[in-house]
Chains A and B, each alone.
Chain A
């Protein structure tokens, strides 16, 4: 086991963490209030449209929160979206080594990772792509009911449901890997407190750690 180091590095800025928590809360509320329409046995929970009201309020937060972030931190936001689509050799290496890592605690073969590891990036890519899909299909269903042609509306419901299935299943994976998986040590700390130990940064995000060190050297 690694020797615990007192030194810490910032992994997620405060703005990023606040956005993460607001967006997660909104998404979980959207997920649960959508789920009651998915499970026939829970349909009665949706009666009198209380879940519809929660769904719409959450949807507004789901849309507005990232927009506020974009206005406040345009550079970080644009960079983050670019990162989602920035895939390279290390990512393939990660995907190959991941099963042995996550099942057998075998860290060998894991290529050094950037600020996000490939798995996190995959989830982030899903969040970006399906976030847009959710918002577009949702807005059409919300504001263009009876205005949009019925055929379009019907497909919007269908696509919204597909996005729900993909992101809903992946949300379980995300939460599991972040806070439950036996190997997880500092991922939750990173998003809750913002910092990780230098030891963790070096071992889990080697590429990013090197970049940070180089940056610091240049400045110093």
Chain B
């Protein structure tokens, strides 16, 4: 099946945050105020933006940025949620395959029951998306992130539905379709914006990290929206998983092999020394005296 994607058109978004509420509602991410430990507290911080960051039960939020560009003050809106990278660092570092590439939709799936709570994905994600419910304590912990509405029992894609955020969006700033189709739509929109005087307008996510499964039509360059420009795949993840861990296997294996060999040789040598008639000199041949 062709890869699916979400197209977020920042130029259409009114920041109503219907997507934010729909995401919580569909995925049963209820949150009372004040929220549980390590969760993100919903409170007045002098901004319309709330909560301040993604959290274990906030998988999607609209980020607000105030910038001066095109000779005026502007209030930019950005969708913050899992980008569903083609080259996903989280999948690379996940030790239990809880995070995986979903072959059916091309997204980054998450099997929560396999999650060990190690939190590697939290630190390796270039977009700081996955969040743990517990960090410090000696207790159970699970990571959470947007799963493109594919939770078991709540799978909208399998049912032929669009993701909850897309469904809820009044100005159609969110679209769900084949990724290739959305790239075409996004590029056309960017041309329209550029023709209208937004010189920095661009389509974000087409090439980034092998191609994101959340595409952005932006009025201006990604940095203005707080999005990383050409985010790199973390080198440490590659060095760790593809070099150090195989080396570790080799070192561990060779050590055990060496010890087994040593046991066989040393046992023979000792028996030769202790038992008469087993030829002491024979066992010592070739050795310098």
Q: Are A48 and B140 also in contact (CB < 8 A) when A43-B97, A182-B267 are?
A: yes
- B95 and A104 form a contact (CB under 8 A): no
Min CB distance, B121 to chain A, in Å?
Answer: 11
Min CB distance, B138 to chain A, in Å?
Answer: 5
Residues of A within 8 A of B (CB-CB), count? 50
Q: Which residues of A contact B97 (CB under 8 A)?
A: 40, 43
Main secondary structure of the interface of B (DSSP, over half): helix
With beta carbons under 8 angstroms apart, the residue of A46, A157, A169 that contacts B236 is A157
Q: How far is the CA of A41 from the CA of B159 in the complex (A)?
A: 32
Q: Which residue of A lies closest to B243 (CB)?
A: A158
With beta carbons under 8 angstroms apart, the residue of A44, A106, A169 that contacts B114 is A44
- B252 and A168 form a contact (CB under 8 A): yes
- B248 and A51 form a contact (CB under 8 A): no
Q: Which residues of A contact B93 (CB under 8 A)?
A: 157
Q: How far is the CA of A180 from the CA of B266 in the complex (A)?
A: 11
* One of B146-154, B189-197, B210-218, B255-263 at the interface: B255-263
With beta carbons under 8 angstroms apart, the residue of A43, A50, A154, A169 that contacts B237 is A154
Q: Which residue of B lies closest to A164 (CB)?
A: B248
Min CB distance, A129 to chain B, in Å?
Answer: 17
Q: Are A153 and B123 also in contact (CB < 8 A) when A53-B139, A103-B269 are?
A: yes
Q: Which residues of B contact A40 (CB under 8 A)?
A: 95-97
Interface string of A149-164 (1 = CB under 8 A from B): 0110111011001101
Q: How far is the CA of A57 from the CA of B136 in the complex (A)?
A: 12
Interchain pairs with CB closer than 8 A, number? 146
Main secondary structure of the interface of A (DSSP, over half): helix
Q: How far is the CA of A155 from the CA of B240 in the complex (A)?
A: 9
- A161 and B124 form a contact (CB under 8 A): no
- B252 and A165 form a contact (CB under 8 A): yes
Min CB distance, A126 to chain B, in Å?
Answer: 13
| In the assembled complex, A87 has its CB within 8 A of some CB on chain B | no
| In the assembled complex, A214 has its CB within 8 A of some CB on chain B | no
* One of A15-23, A139-147, A203-211 at the interface: A139-147
- A154 and B116 form a contact (CB under 8 A): no
Q: How far is the CA of A16 from the CA of B246 in the complex (A)?
A: 36
- A57 and B115 form a contact (CB under 8 A): no
Min CB distance, B250 to chain A, in Å?
Answer: 9
| In the assembled complex, B28 has its CB within 8 A of some CB on chain A | no
| In the assembled complex, A173 has its CB within 8 A of some CB on chain B | yes
| In the assembled complex, A85 has its CB within 8 A of some CB on chain B | no
Q: How far is the CA of A36 from the CA of B116 in the complex (A)?
A: 10
| In the assembled complex, A100 has its CB within 8 A of some CB on chain B | yes
Interface string of B73-101 (1 = CB under 8 A from A): 00000000000000000000101111000
- A169 and B240 form a contact (CB under 8 A): no
- A49 and B141 form a contact (CB under 8 A): yes
A residues sitting closer than 8 Å to B (CB atoms) are 1, 36-38, 40, 43-44, 46-53, 56-57, 100, 102-106, 108, 142-143, 145-146, 150-151, 153-155, 157-158, 161-162, 164-166, 168-170, 172-173, 176, 180-183
- CB-based closest 6 A-B pairs: A43-B96, A49-B117, A46-B116, A37-B95, A165-B248, A154-B236
- 18 of the cross-chain contacts (CB-CB < 8 Å) are A49-B115, A49-B140, A100-B287, A103-B266, A104-B283, A104-B287, A145-B135, A146-B123, A150-B124, A154-B236, A157-B123, A158-B239, A165-B244, A168-B248, A172-B256, A176-B262, A180-B263, A182-B263
